């Protein structure tokens, strides 16, 4: 089965073509503000490299964030258009799961905890906590945005109770912001740039192994990014007019991270 995977929610434009979970060709492009220009040409180039054309694709996997608001919409819009035009199932995968998978591509014999943290400004990070072992991937804390301090507490609290093994922290914090992510104990650290080439292959894996169920038929139209933060204007409006739901006190959006 020919699988096409793409993600544009981080500074890495990640694309891969695979036969099942086996990557045939992949690209990780870190050209600043290049995502919108380069996504579709990259997809076509990789397919051609494999001797395939777009009609040969049988399954599309797309990273749905969280991450850059504007960025994530590029791949989601493109993937939805491709999947609906070709009548293909679409697998929406958390970008955090893909980043975690990129940091830990194999299946370790002893369990490892993987914490992907993507910078969300104002001392916050989009994050999730996964545990991976020979048995596969388990999501311990689902994707959300929190203060980095809160992520530290989650990790320590988990260590107090039942350790899921050593911690692997993978992040996109710039050198000047890395002070924020100190104090995660003995965690092994990797940067997003170091694991960039593994993001799209991780999407292939998740999609091909059925870790996330494919969306089929008319429902493909409803696939949308997982922003985890509401638009700032909506939050302010609800605060002002007192019609807030549970998210009413949440602070605003990151207002667009690099990567378009």
Partner 1 sequence: MRILGIETSCDETAAAIVEDGRRLCAQALASQVEVHARFGGVVPEVASRRHTEVVTRVTEQAMREAGLEWHQLDAIAVTCGPGLLGALLVGVSAAKGYALATGLPLIGVHHIAGHVAAAFIGTDLRPPVLALVVSGGHTEILRVDEQFRFERLGGTKDDAAGEAYDKVARLLGLRYPGGPKVDALAQRGRPDAFAFPRSMLDEDNFDFSFSGLKTAVWHELERCRRSGETVAVEDVCASFQQAVIDVLVEKTARAVAATGLRTVVLAGGVAANQGLRRALAARAEADGFRVQAPPLALCTDNGAMIAAAAYFAWSRGQRADLTLNAHAVLSLEDWQAGRV
Nearer to partner 1, 138 or 224 (CB): 224
Rounded least distance, CB 73 to partner 1, Å = 5
Nearer to partner 1, 161 or 243 (CB): 243
- By the rule CB under 8 A, 118 interacts with partner 1: no
Q: DSSP of 106-136, one letter per residue?
A: S--SS-EEEEEEEE-STTEEEEEEEEEETTE
Of 21, 121, 232, 250, which lies in the binding site for partner 1, with binding defined by CB under 8 A? 232
Rounded least distance, CB 253 to partner 1, Å = 7
- How big is the site for partner 1, counted in residues (CB under 8 A)? 40
- By the rule CB under 8 A, 120 interacts with partner 1: no
136 conformational bin, left if phi > 0, alpha if psi -120 to 50, beta if neither: left
Rounded least distance, CB 23 to partner 1, Å = 20
Report the Cα 62 to chain-centroid distance in Å. Answer: 9
**Whether the Cβ atoms of residue 68 and residue 192 lie closer than 8 Å to each other:** no
Reported as type and span, the H/E element at residue 202 is helix 199-208
Using CB under 8 A as the criterion, what x/- string covers residues 32-71 for binding partner 1? Answer: ----xxxxxx-xx--------xxx-------------xx-
Reported as type and span, the H/E element at residue 24 is strand 22-29
């Amino acid at each position: 089965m020919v699988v096409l995977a793409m993600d544009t929610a981080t500074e890495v434009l990640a694309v891969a073509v695979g036969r099942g979970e086996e990557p045939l060709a992949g690209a990780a492009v870190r050209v600043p503000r290049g995502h919108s220009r380069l996504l579709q040409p990259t997809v076509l180039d990789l397919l051609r490299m494999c001797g395939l054309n777009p009609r040969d694709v049988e399954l599309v996997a797309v990273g749905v964030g969280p991450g850059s608001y504007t960025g994530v919409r590029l791949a989601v819009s493109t993937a939805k258009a491709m999947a609906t035009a070709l009548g293909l199932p679409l697998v929406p995968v958390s970008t955090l799961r893909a980043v975690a998978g990129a940091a830990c591509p194999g299946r370790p014999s002893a369990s490892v905890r993987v914490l992907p943290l993507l910078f969300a400004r104002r001392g916050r990070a989009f994050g999730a906590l996964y545990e991976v072992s020979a048995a596969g991937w388990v999501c311990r804390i689902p994707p959300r945005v929190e203060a980095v301090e809160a992520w530290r507490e989650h990790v320590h609290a988990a260590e107090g109770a039942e350790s899921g093994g050593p911690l692997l922290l993978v992040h996109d914090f710039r050198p000047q912001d890395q002070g924020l992510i100190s104090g995660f104990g003995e965690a092994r650290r990797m940067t997003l740039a170091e694991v960039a080439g593994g993001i799209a292959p991780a999407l292939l894996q998740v999609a091909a192994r059925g870790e996330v169920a494919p969306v089929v038929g008319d429902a493909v139209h409803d696939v949308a990014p997982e922003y985890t933060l509401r638009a700032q204007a909506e939050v302010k409006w609800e605060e002002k007019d007192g019609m807030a739901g549970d998210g009413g006190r949440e602070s605003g959006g990151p207002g667009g991270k690099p990567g378009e």
